[in-house]
């Protein structure tokens, strides 16, 4: 091409890249995001692109389990930060420097682990799942998004969608339990709550699906370990919630620490590219977990250098390196050496720029600096946090209907009574434990003027100190009923906190047994982030309420349940084994070659102490038969099944019903039953409600084969609700 033509082409290029007003296209908010992305990308140098693929820490790291040196000497071209402040000023000060002191002024995005609240802390995700109320979960997540975005956090590393079936794993508390469908429903509700309909809204933030994938299958419940996952389980268990949340529009996704059958999740092209990008068409950002790129060299040893680790991770499909320094220190030279194609860099940068445009950061790079009382812990926030706690608690046992209490002298005993840290669990972001209502506070507020409440700690959560026993026994002797507030410390269920015995520590169990012959009704209020081995306590107490880690108004919620102001409605999202020796133990097991009791343990029971879906109410409900608008159907039909439930008690109450399907004859062995729908309805005393399940056969009756293809097989299917069943036939 001769010089004249070149100049003409160049000037034409320059002209089409700027408007008549001279501003570059990427700065024009009315243009399509993809146009702005391409324009900005075309202006970036290699180094500017690479820096967008690195995340640093801004502020003081709050996660004690994060390893490695915290690099706080970061370049202003960094694409994103984990932000550890609850005030926007620190973020705005840094953002001003980014916009003024870098060549293109690409705004940074600020992330944080907001997993069950930012400052208003609501129950842990496992407890939220027990509520059976995804609409309420969406509300509390929208509240958390508002507190976060108005405080300078644009992006949260939540929801955690790891299907968890081993209560020895401390992170089970961060999941929505053992069932893929339940994790899907609550994961989608969480994504919708965080993201709303417009990520650029000043009160919404980007969600992050984690940890992709299979982290919940960590061997022996020991954290950070290998996972051995069959194709059947990969497709029909672990990928299910991620697919649901990708389809719901989640903006980002995080790779996991674990390997899958020997291939690290952070270097797993099959999951991160072939499935996530090529099959699911995910066009959001993928980020590693903390230092999981450098761990490919330092621990999993699939790489012998950090450069190799960067190559493995980036080419597998991880866009951003979280805090390991591998990408920032090696990518420029790897591209210049032709080891990494610039196309892969460009695709990763496109994802990051797309996120920033969708968040509206180019138009609003700064967070308005409004006072805390106007953005944190508003009365509305506190009220929905309390309702979330009320609906998440599970009444596991209530012999002789000892609850609700009608007693006049109540003894409150145990270390969890006043321990506010136990209300919050882990990952409580900017929550201040002093804000929390302790269990004792809640009980005293609830029964003020109604009953006398006495307290004695009795013992600590663990240790050997028994000096408090005598006072506790004396206090109980003066009361009509004893509320035992026992369980886990707030940091016992979390990352890097695997526990083999999953039992309440011996000192607490010993104290509980001291009341065995007290002649007083004993009510255990259990604070835990996971299923707990209750086998030697359950026979001693008359009632058990799983309080979980109930958040800022947990004490109020427990008070309401004890008094009867709140009718408990929670159902377990995870199985409670009698002993860890039974693990793995979950409801969705496949049919065996023989049926129980053939194959059961000969020395201990093979049944759980409390099964998935267990939960009592103060009301009693009677179920009618399941009816269907048709029982013969074709695969593209839709069927409507109904069941009528009547509240036969004198108390209004809410009931959650689970709809299960099973396939009596299938080409591969399927689970004995599979949860495919659940619904919660409030039913007034003496009234009835009709619950419906609209079956979409391809969605609800199919299975995925080892390649992830949907398989639906003609023949009969059984649908069940409690002990009611109906047989359907697919032609």
- Count of residues near ligand GLC by CB under 6 A: 9
Residue 347: how many other CB atoms lie within 10 Å? 16
Q: Which stretch binds ligand GLC (CB under 6 A): 14-22, 62-70, 197-205, 309-317?
A: 62-70
Q: How far is the CB of 215 from ligand GLC (least distance, A)?
A: 8
- Comparison of 160 and 512: residue with beta carbon closer to ligand GLC: 160
Residue 578: how many other CB atoms lie within 10 Å? 19
Q: How far is Cα 75 from Cα 51, in angstroms, rounded to an integer?
A: 8
Q: How far is Cα 222 from Cα 203, in angstroms, rounded to an integer?
A: 37
The gap between the terminal CA atoms of the chain, to the nearest Å, is 66
Contacts of 56 by beta carbon, 8 Å cutoff, 6+ apart: 71, 72, 74, 78, 80, 81, 82, 323
Q: How far is the CB of 160 from ligand GLC (least distance, A)?
A: 7
Q: Which stretch binds ligand GLC (CB under 6 A): 60-68, 344-352, 405-413, 683-691?
A: 60-68
- The answer to whether 354 contacts ligand GLC (rule: CB under 6 A) is no
Binding ligand GLC by CB under 6 A: which of 66, 329, 518, 666? 66
Contacts of 444 by beta carbon, 8 Å cutoff, 6+ apart: 453, 559
Binding ligand GLC by CB under 6 A: which of 56, 110, 155, 157? 157
- 44 within 8 A of 75, measured Cβ to Cβ: no
Give the x-and-dash track for 14-53 against ligand GLC (CB under 6 A).
Answer: ----------------------------------------
Binding ligand GLC by CB under 6 A: which of 39, 48, 77, 113? 113
Q: Which stretch binds ligand GLC (CB under 6 A): 59-67, 190-198, 522-530, 577-585?
A: 59-67
Binding ligand GLC by CB under 6 A: which of 81, 110, 212, 290? 290
Contacting ligand GLC within 579-618 (CB under 6 A)? none
- Comparison of 425 and 613: residue with beta carbon closer to ligand GLC: 425
Q: Which stretch binds ligand GLC (CB under 6 A): 63-71, 525-533, 630-638, 695-703?
A: 63-71
Q: State the number of CA atoms in the 13 A half-sphere of 564 facing the CB.
A: 14
Q: From the candidates 166, 223, 259, 289, which is the catalytic residue?
A: 289
Contacting ligand GLC within 489-528 (CB under 6 A)? 495
Helix locations, 530-626, DSSP H: 554-563
Using CB positions, name the residue nearest to ligand GLC. 157
Q: Which stretch binds ligand GLC (CB under 6 A): 58-66, 88-96, 583-591, 674-682?
A: 58-66
Q: How far is the CB of 63 from ligand GLC (least distance, A)?
A: 5
Q: Is the preceding peptide bond at 159 cis, omega within 30 degrees of 0?
A: yes
Q: How far is the CB of 164 from ligand GLC (least distance, A)?
A: 13
Tokens of residue 324, six digits: 């390991």
Q: How far is the CB of 252 from ligand GLC (least distance, A)?
A: 11
Q: How far is Cα 381 from Cα 120, in angstroms, rounded to an integer?
A: 7
Sheet holding 522-527, edge to edge: 394-398, 543-546, 522-527, 481-487, 409-413, 452-456
Q: Where are the beta strands (DSSP E) in 114-193?
A: 155-156
- Comparison of 312 and 429: residue with beta carbon closer to ligand GLC: 429
- The answer to whether 85 contacts ligand GLC (rule: CB under 6 A) is no
Residues counted in the chain: 731
Residue 195 host element (H or E): helix 180-195
Give the x-and-dash track for 188-207 against ligand GLC (CB under 6 A).
Answer: --------------------
Q: How far is Cα 266 from Cα 719, in angstroms, rounded to an integer?
A: 39
- Comparison of 157 and 357: residue with beta carbon closer to ligand GLC: 157
Helix locations, 478-540, DSSP H: 506-514
Sheet holding 285-287, edge to edge: 208-212, 252-255, 285-287
319 has catalytic annotation: no
- The answer to whether 176 contacts ligand GLC (rule: CB under 6 A) is no
Strand partners, 681: 655
Beta-strand relationship, 621-628 and 639-647: antiparallel
Q: What is the largest CA-CA distance in the chain?
A: 102
Q: Which stretch binds ligand GLC (CB under 6 A): 61-69, 462-470, 516-524, 635-643?
A: 61-69
- Comparison of 144 and 453: residue with beta carbon closer to ligand GLC: 144
DSSP type of residue 276: I
Beta-strand relationship, 632-633 and 674-683: unpaired
If 0-12 CB within 10 Å is exposed, 13-18 middle and 19+ buried, where does residue 207 land?
A: buried
Using only the alpha carbons of the chain, give its radius of gyration.
27
Binding ligand GLC by CB under 6 A: which of 17, 27, 28, 63? 63
Q: CA dihedral defined by 534, 540, 541, 542, rounded to 10 degrees?
A: 120
Binding ligand GLC by CB under 6 A: which of 138, 223, 289, 332? 289
Residues that are catalytic: 289
Residues that bind ligand GLC (CB under 6 A): 63, 65-66, 113, 157, 210, 289-290, 495
């Amino acid at each position: 091409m001769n010089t004249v033509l070149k100049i003409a082409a160049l000037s034409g290029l320059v002209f089409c890249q700027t408007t008549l007003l001279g501003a570059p296209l990427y700065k024009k908010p009315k243009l399509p995001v993809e146009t702005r992305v391409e324009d900005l990308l075309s202006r970036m140098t290699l180094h500017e692109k690479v820096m967008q693929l690195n995340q640093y820490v801004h502020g003081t790291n709050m996660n004690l389990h994060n390893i490695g040196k915290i690099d706080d000497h970061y370049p202003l071209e960094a694409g994103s930060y984990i932000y550890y402040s609850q005030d926007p000023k620190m973020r705005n000060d840094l953002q001003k420097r980014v916009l003024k002191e870098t060549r293109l002024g690409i705004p940074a995005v600020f992330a944080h682990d907001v997993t069950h609240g930012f400052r208003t802390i609501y129950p842990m995700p496992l407890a939220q799942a027990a509520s059976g109320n995804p609409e309420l979960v969406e509300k509390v997540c929208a509240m958390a998004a508002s507190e976060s975005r108005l405080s300078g956090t644009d992006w949260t590393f939540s929801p955690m969608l790891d299907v968890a079936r081993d209560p020895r794993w401390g992170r089970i508390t961060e999941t929505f339990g053992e069932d893929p469908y339940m994790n899907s429903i609550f994961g989608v509700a969480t994504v919708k709550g965080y993201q709303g309909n417009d990520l650029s809204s000043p009160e919404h933030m980007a969600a992050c699906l984690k940890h992709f994938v299979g982290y919940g299958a960590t061997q022996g419940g020991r954290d950070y370990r290998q996972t051995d996952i069959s194709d059947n389980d990969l497709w029909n268990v672990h990928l299910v919630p991620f697919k649901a949340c990708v389809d719901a529009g989640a903006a980002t996704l995080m790779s996991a620490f674990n390997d899958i059958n020997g291939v690290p999740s952070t270097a797993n092209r099959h999951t991160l590219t072939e499935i996530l990008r090529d099959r699911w068409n995910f066009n959001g950002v993928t980020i590693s977990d903390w230092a999981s790129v450098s761990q490919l060299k330092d621990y999993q040893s699939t790489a012998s250098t950090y450069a190799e680790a960067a190559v493995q991770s980036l080419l597998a499909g991880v866009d951003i390196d979280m805090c390991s320094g591998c990408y920032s220190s090696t990518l420029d030279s790897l591209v210049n050496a032709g080891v990494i194609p610039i196309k892969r860099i460009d695709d990763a940068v496109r994802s990051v720029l797309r996120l920033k445009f969708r968040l509206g950061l180019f138009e609003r790079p700064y967070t308005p600096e409004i006072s805390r009382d106007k953005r944190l812990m508003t009365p509305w926030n506190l009220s929905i946090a309390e309702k979330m706690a009320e609906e998440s608690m599970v009444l596991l046992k209530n012999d002789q209907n000892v609850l609700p209490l009608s007693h006049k002298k109540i003894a409150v005993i145990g270390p969890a009574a006043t321990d506010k840290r136990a209300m919050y669990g882990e990952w409580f972001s900017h929550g201040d434990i002093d804000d929390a209502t302790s269990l004792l506070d809640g009980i005293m507020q609830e029964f003020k003027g109604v009953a006398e409440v006495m307290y004695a700690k009795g013992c600590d959560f663990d240790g050997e100190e028994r000096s408090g026993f005598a006072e506790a026994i004396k206090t109980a002797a003066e009361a009509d009923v004893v509320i035992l507030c026992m369980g886990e410390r707030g940091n016992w269920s979390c990352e890097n906190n695997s526990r083999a015995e999953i039992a309440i520590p011996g000192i607490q169990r010993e104290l509980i047994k001291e009341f065995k012959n007290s002649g007083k009704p004993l009510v255990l209020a259990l604070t835990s982030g996971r299923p707990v081995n209750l086998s030697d306590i359950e026979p001693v107490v008359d009632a058990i309420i799983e309080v979980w880690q109930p958040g800022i108004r947990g004490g109020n919620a427990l008070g309401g349940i004890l008094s009867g102001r709140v009718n408990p409605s929670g159902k377990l999202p995870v199985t409670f084994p009698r002993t860890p020796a039974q693990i793995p133990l979950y409801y969705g097991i496949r049919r065996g070659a023989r049926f129980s009791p053939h194959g059961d343990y000969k020395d201990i029971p093979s049944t759980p102490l409390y099964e998935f879906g267990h939960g009592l109410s103060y009301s009693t409900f009677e179920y009618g038969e399941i009816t269907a608008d048709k029982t013969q159907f074709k695969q593209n039909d839709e069927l409507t099944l109904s069941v009528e439930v009547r509240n036969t008690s004198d108390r209004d109450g809410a009931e959650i019903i689970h709809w299960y399907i099973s396939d009596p004859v299938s080409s591969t062995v399927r689970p004995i039953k599979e949860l495919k729908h659940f619904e919660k309805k409030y039913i007034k005393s003496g009234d009835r409600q009709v619950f419906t399940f609209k079956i979409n056969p391809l969605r609800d009756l199919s299975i995925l084969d080892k390649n992830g293809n949907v398989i639906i097989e003609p023949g009969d299917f059984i649908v069940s609700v409690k002990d009611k069943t109906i047989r359907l036939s697919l032609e």
